[in-house]
Amino acid sequence: MNPQSDGALPLTQEALDPQRVMPLRDIRAALMRMNMSADAKSLLLKLADVTCVIGGKTLAIGRKIVEICLVLLRSFPNLMFGAMVAALMSLVIGAVPLLGPALSVLLTPLMLAVGIGAGALADIMQGRVGAGMTAFCDALEMTVAQA
């Protein structure tokens, strides 16, 4: 494993391999360097602690989920930011009494499409999407082929 400066794996097959996960201390270090609330960090660390036993093997499924999120966030920061802003806006709209739930049902898909589209466009302008998507798709195809 070749950690980068923020502790996240590069976007390769290694990042998608379910048998290889980042150590919890690397995940904790990467999360502590992020500019987010302590509550959010605590929730992500609790998610990283989730494990399941399948066929007598213990899988650190929570760590793998957090690791993939960190890899995607590092590879496509604008796209992920656009998706998060759109999701938060739909939450706020849904919380408005009476009209909120109805508006949320109608506006959430639209806001997600606009947020993801704007983020992807910003990542394309910075030249990140082409190489990142190719690496991600290649890694995903190799992982699926081995499963």
pLDDT in tens, 18-77: 677 888 898 899 889 988 888 888 888 999 999 888 888 888 888 888 888 888 888 788
Is 115 exposed, middle or buried, given 0-12, 13-18 or 19+ CB atoms closer than 10 A? buried
Res 117: pLDDT: 92
SS3 17: coil
Please give the average per-residue pLDDT across 12-20, as a whole number. 67
pTM of the model: 0.62
Spatial neighbors of 137 by CB under 8 A, at least 6 apart, are none
Please give the average per-residue pLDDT across 3-29, as a whole number. 67
pLDDT of 9 above 70: no
Res 10: pLDDT: 53
Main-chain phi, psi angles of 105, to 5 degrees:
-60, -40
Distance, C-alpha 14 to centroid of its chain: 16
Distance, C-alpha 35 to centroid of its chain: 15
pLDDT of 7 above 50: no
DSSP state of 6: T
- Helix pair angle (129-146, 100-125), 10° resolution: 110
| Tens of pLDDT, residues 105-114 | 999 999 999 9
Confidence of residue 93 (pLDDT cuts 50, 70, 90): very high
CB 7 within 8 A of CB 26: yes
Spatial neighbors of 7 by CB under 8 A, at least 6 apart, are 22, 26, 27, 29, 30, 33, 70
Distance CA 86, CA 1 (A): 34
Res 126: pLDDT: 80
Res 15: pLDDT: 65
